[in-house]
C-alpha cells in the first residue's frame, strides 16, 4: 500500500525531478508534488512524495530525514491527513453581490 511522506525545508529551486531522483534510490516513487504559491508561482519550500510501499517509505524517512539537498537540511516524515478548512466568504470569490 502506498504511503505519503511530507518533505520539508526544500530549497525554492529544488525541482520535482530532483526529489523524484533522490527518493527513487530507496524504492518505487508513485508521485511527487512540490507545493507552489499561487500568487508568486514559487515553491513554498515543501512537498509530498508518495512511495509504493510502507517499507520504502520508512527507509526514505530513515535515510533522508536530516540530510542535505541543495544546501538545505530536509525534514522527512509521514504526511498527516489533510485537514478540511472552512470556506471563507471573502478574498476573490464571485459572490452574488450584484
pLDDT given at position 88: 64
- Per DSSP, the residues of 43-77 read EEEEEEEEESSHHHHHHHHHHHTT-EETTEE-EEE
Domains contained in the chain, CATH given:
1-44+61-71 (3.30.70)
pLDDT given at position 85: 73
Per-residue pLDDT band for 7 (boundaries 50, 70, 90) equals: very high
* Distances in whole angstroms, Cα of residue 30 to Cα of each of 20, 35, 67, 86: 9, 17, 22, 30
Render pLDDT for 50-76 as a digit per residue (tens, 0 to 9).
Answer: 999 999 999 999 999 999 999 999 999
| C-beta separation of 53 from 27 below 8 A | yes
* Mean pLDDT for all residues in the chain: 91
pLDDT given at position 86: 78
Amino acid at each position: 500500500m502506498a504511503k505519503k511522506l511530507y518533505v520539508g525545508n526544500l530549497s525554492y529551486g529544488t525541482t520535482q525531478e530532483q526529489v523524484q531522483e533522490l527518493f527513487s534510490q530507496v524504492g518505487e516513487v508513485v508521485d511527487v508534488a512540490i507545493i507552489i504559491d499561487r500568487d508568486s508561482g514559487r515553491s513554498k519550500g515543501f512537498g509530498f512524495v508518495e512511495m509504493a510501499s510502507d517499507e520504502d517509505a520508512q527507509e526514505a524517512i530513515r535515510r533522508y530525514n536530516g540530510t542535505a539537498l541543495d544546501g538545505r537540511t530536509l525534514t522527512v516524515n509521514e504526511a498527516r491527513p489533510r485537514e478540511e478548512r472552512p470556506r471563507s466568504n471573502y478574498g476573490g470569490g464571485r459572490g452574488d453581490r450584484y
